[in-house]
Amino acid sequence: MSIIDRLLSGDYMPHGHCLLWQYDLLIMHVGSDLVIAISYFSIPPALLYFIYRKRQFELNWTLALFACFILFCGMTHVMEIINVWNGYYYAEGALKVATALVSAITAIVIWPLLPRITQLPSFNEWRELTDNLQNKLALSSLRSDELTQVKAYLEKQVAQRTEELQNLNRCLERENIERRMAEERANTISNAVGYGLVVVNNDGLIQSFNSVLTEMLGYSKEELKQQPIELLLPESIRHQHQIQRNAYLKRPETRKMGVGRDLWARHKNGGQIPVEVGLTAVHEYDSYTIIATVIDITERKRMQEQIEQAHQKYIRETNEIQKALKESEAKFRTIAETLPGVVWMSSPGIDRIYFINRRYEEIWGRSCQSLYETPKGFIDAIVPEDRDRILKGLERHKQGEWSHNYRIIDAWGSLRYIEDKGHGVMDEDGRLICLIGMAADVTEQIKHKEALLRSNQELDDFAYIASHDLKEPLRGISNYASFLIEDYQDRLDDNGRQMLRSLVRLTSRMERLITELLHYSRLGRTDLSIESCNLNTVVTEVIETLEPRLNELGVACRIANKLPEIKCDRVRVAEVFRNLIANAMKYNDKEEKWVTVGSFEENAQRIFYVKDNGIGISSNLYEKIFKIFKRLHPQDKYGGTGVGLTIVKKIVERHGGRIWLDSSSGEGTTFYFTLDSQS
């Protein structure tokens, strides 16, 4: 296609489609562009007329360039109106390129001319010069040489005066800039100090303040400027403060106010805030300017009150502890007797038993007195296979550590599972004085756990058998339907053949659903195989397995940055990335499709993401997409079973992480997730 054909091509979608052809939007855009274009087109004739009338003006070519620039600007708005109903975007682009060139040339030309333009006299200066010259010319009696001298003198005076005014103007501009910079530095410093600052004149009127003060007391800048300082004080002390302020001005000095007593500032809402105030007087000519620092000590007051309350609480608790110590032994014995396990207290190494509750007699079937007499007698009931391990653990018991699981044969000949844990008790010098612990009978829990394991295994076996038994008739139905299509399609009408094809498709989908459901049911019961895993390698392998499908769909998939090495279940995490990348390339209707995989760190946590430029997801559907078999689109449009994201969520949660997304309809989707194998 030639350049002319492209410029005149109007095959693109008109801009009106973007405005949804709404009447009010069309009027707003077309009307404003029309008025702007008419305004732009009215300016060049005026400039050309000026050039025609002022042919001797040396900057006429600059005005002509401006006229050309404004004309092009008007033409771009005309093209905006045309493209509301047409698609001449190449023509509009070419016009904008021409406008950009004229704009750039105008901008480049105008800056070197600024010094010459700024030196031109103003209309008032020209008028003054003209009046002076006319007055001089009115003196007709003057000779020609005298007139020449007068003219030269006037020109010299005008030039000298113009130069003086320009120098004065530059000095004033420098002073204004320096003053503004000084004020900005002062404001920046005052706002950064972290406490309120207020400047008051000799009459007690507020001259300036920082933003910390306005935020502290709730006032705006306009409400405080030139207001009496007493506005910031409680009404009850305003009159007294005026007297104190006048007394301070007689003997000004730098000091803190309210030493030994409380000072209060008044908030705009009428509330009172405890403050600490510092005063500094600055002498200026025949008066003083007072600079006050205002610190909100609400938190300090609160901490002081908390310290006092904590002190009083400490005294009360000390008395209560002393009283409680007298009752502790009785309470301990009462509580120990009510606990379900054997509560014991012994010396390091179990050379002496200090306490044993009655549960020992119920579990071991032996008297507590026998254990007091023979501290290691409980070991005799331990089965031989566990006894040696417990005897070796006595050395750790001497160090204050005791945590064992073992089996015993009670006095009635029954096998029991015991979970025995103890902790060391230290004296003030850090020496181990005794161990206290509890031996719990976990026989029932062990039996329940074994029963649960058997139940899970039976459930897995059932799920496998059920899925196999369900798939078998589905395959039969699918095969018979396929045979009917192949062997009897001449005897069937179009409707019958279509129903048979639908039957084959539905049985195939049902088989996939059963497979996915079986896979999902096993995720929660299968132990994770945690190992050190390089995610760069994992994602690269996933992309390689999906490469044929990626090439077929024209999807560009890349890794944005180097992924870390973490501990996780390599196979399961690869399944997470595979499902997310597969969804990203499937749900994409763009001409240039892409998928990006990466990670970043936020709040000391590594976050992974899979981002695409696909069809996107509305925010009201975020939670629904993770539900099993939940689909957002018809089966015949994108395919799939609706289990993929459910499996992804289950794997992420099994790794102690969470998954969420950020998306808008038509603008792509980003899935974020975390992995914490330690959980």
Say what the pLDDT of residue 672 is: 94
Go through the chain and tell me how many residues it has: 679
Q: What confidence tens digit (pLDDT) does each residue in 410-449 have?
A: 888 888 998 888 888 888 888 888 888 888 888 888 888 8
Structure-token pair, residue 487: 């062997």
Say what the pLDDT of residue 611 is: 92
Q: How far is CA 556 from the centre of its chain?
A: 28
Give the H or E element holding residue 436: strand 432-441
Structure-token pair, residue 391: 């005897």
Say what the pLDDT of residue 594 is: 92
Query: How far is residue 481 from each of residues 246, 441, 512, 611, measured CA to CA in Å?
Result: 106, 61, 18, 41
How much of the chain, in percent, has pLDDT values that exceed 70?
Answer: 79
Alpha helices in 57-122 (DSSP H): 60-85, 89-118
pLDDT of 255 > 70? The answer is no
Say what the pLDDT of residue 192 is: 58
Say what the pLDDT of residue 599 is: 92
Residue 360 exposed, middle or buried by CB count within 10 Å (0-12, 13-18, 19+): buried
Say what the pLDDT of residue 322 is: 79
Show the CA angle centred on residue 656, arms to residues 458 and 467, nearest 5°: 30
Residue 294 confidence class, pLDDT cut points 50, 70, 90: confident
Mean pLDDT value of segment 570-575: 82
What is the rounded CA–CA span in Å between residue 356 and residue 577? 56
Q: What confidence tens digit (pLDDT) does each residue in 191-217 have?
A: 656 678 888 887 888 888 888 888 888
Say what the pLDDT of residue 636 is: 47
Dihedral Cα 634, 636, 641, 643, nearest 10 deg:
-40
Nearest CA-CA partner of 368 in 380, 387, 382, 354:
354
Helix 570-586 crosses helix 535-553 at what angle (to 10 degrees)? 30
Question: In this structure, which amino acid lies at residue 214?
Answer: T
What is the rounded CA–CA span in Å between residue 668 and residue 662? 9
Question: In this structure, which amino acid lies at residue 245?
Answer: R
The DSSP 8-state label assigned to residue 292 in this structure reads E
pLDDT of 143 > 60? The answer is no
Provide the 10 A C-beta neighbour count for residue 482: 15
Q: Between residues 240 and 327, which one has the greater pLDDT?
A: 240
Dihedral Cα 224, 229, 232, 233, nearest 10 deg:
-160
Domain 528-673, what fold? Answer: Heat Shock Protein 90 (3.30.565)
Backbone angles phi, psi at 414, to 5 degrees: -90, 150
CB 445 within 8 A of CB 471: no
Residue 355 exposed, middle or buried by CB count within 10 Å (0-12, 13-18, 19+): middle
- Beta partners for 278? 256, 293
> What are 589-592's contacts with CB under 8 Å, separation 24+?
589/614, 589/615, 590/614, 592/556
- Beta partners for 117? none
Backbone angles phi, psi at 286, to 5 degrees: -105, 20
What is the rounded CA–CA span in Å between residue 213 and residue 206? 12
Structure-token pair, residue 448: 């329940």
Instruction: Spell out where 545-627 has E strands.
Output: 555-559, 565-569, 593-602, 605-612
What is the rounded CA–CA span in Å between residue 640 and residue 4? 48
The DSSP 8-state label assigned to residue 211 in this structure reads H
What is the rounded CA–CA span in Å between residue 328 and residue 322? 10
Nearest CA-CA partner of 33 in 74, 89, 71, 2:
74
The CATH number that domain 339-441 falls under is 3.30.450.20
What is the rounded CA–CA span in Å between residue 363 and residue 338? 14
Nearest CA-CA partner of 217 in 185, 195, 192:
195
Residue 520 confidence class, pLDDT cut points 50, 70, 90: low
pLDDT of 573 > 70? The answer is yes
What is the rounded CA–CA span in Å between residue 612 and residue 590? 10
Provide the 10 A C-beta neighbour count for residue 69: 20
What is the rounded CA–CA span in Å between residue 43 and residue 63? 11
What is the rounded CA–CA span in Å between residue 112 and residue 59? 12
* Mean confidence (pLDDT) of the chain: 78
- Beta partners for 292? 198, 279
Say what the pLDDT of residue 671 is: 92
Mean pLDDT value of segment 527-556: 85
Kindly give, in sequence order, each residue whose CB lies less than 8 Å from that of residue 512, ignoring residues fewer than 6 positions away: 641
Question: Fold match between 339-441 and 528-673?
Answer: no
pLDDT of 459 > 70? The answer is no
How much of the chain, in percent, has pLDDT values that exceed 90?
Answer: 4
Alpha helices in 524-568 (DSSP H): 535-553
Sheet strands side by side (includes 669-673) = 555-559, 593-602, 605-612, 669-673, 659-663
| Domain boundaries defined on the chain | 3-118, 193-296, 339-441, 448-520, 528-673
What is the rounded CA–CA span in Å between residue 550 and residue 488? 38
The CATH number that domain 193-296 falls under is 3.30.450.20
Q: What is the largest CA-CA distance in the chain?
A: 151
Dihedral Cα 350, 355, 358, 364, nearest 10 deg:
0
CB 368 within 8 A of CB 385: no
What is the rounded CA–CA span in Å between residue 636 and residue 33? 46
Q: What confidence tens digit (pLDDT) does each residue in 311-344 have?
A: 888 888 888 887 777 777 777 777 777 778 888 8
> Which of 147-151, 466-470, 476-480 shows the lowest per-residue confidence on average (mean pLDDT)?
466-470
pLDDT of 575 > 60? The answer is yes
What is the rounded CA–CA span in Å between residue 629 and residue 627? 6
pLDDT of 509 > 60? The answer is no
Mean pLDDT value of segment 469-487: 67
Q: What confidence tens digit (pLDDT) does each residue in 339-376 have?
A: 788 888 888 888 888 888 888 888 888 888 988 888 88
> 3-state class of 275 per DSSP?
strand
Residue 609 confidence class, pLDDT cut points 50, 70, 90: very high
Structure-token pair, residue 366: 């032996």
Nearest CA-CA partner of 572 in 650, 483, 478:
650
Residue 573 exposed, middle or buried by CB count within 10 Å (0-12, 13-18, 19+): buried
Say what the pLDDT of residue 510 is: 63
Structure-token pair, residue 190: 């005052």
Structure-token pair, residue 364: 């071991």
What is the rounded CA–CA span in Å between residue 265 and residue 238? 11
Give the H or E element holding residue 289: strand 287-296
Kindly give, in sequence order, each residue whose CB lies less than 8 Å from that of residue 309, ignoring residues fewer than 6 positions away: none
What is the rounded CA–CA span in Å between residue 271 and residue 169? 50
CB 363 within 8 A of CB 339: no
What is the rounded CA–CA span in Å between residue 160 and residue 648? 84
Say what the pLDDT of residue 679 is: 46
Mean pLDDT value of segment 46-72: 80
Say what the pLDDT of residue 65 is: 82
Say what the pLDDT of residue 458 is: 61
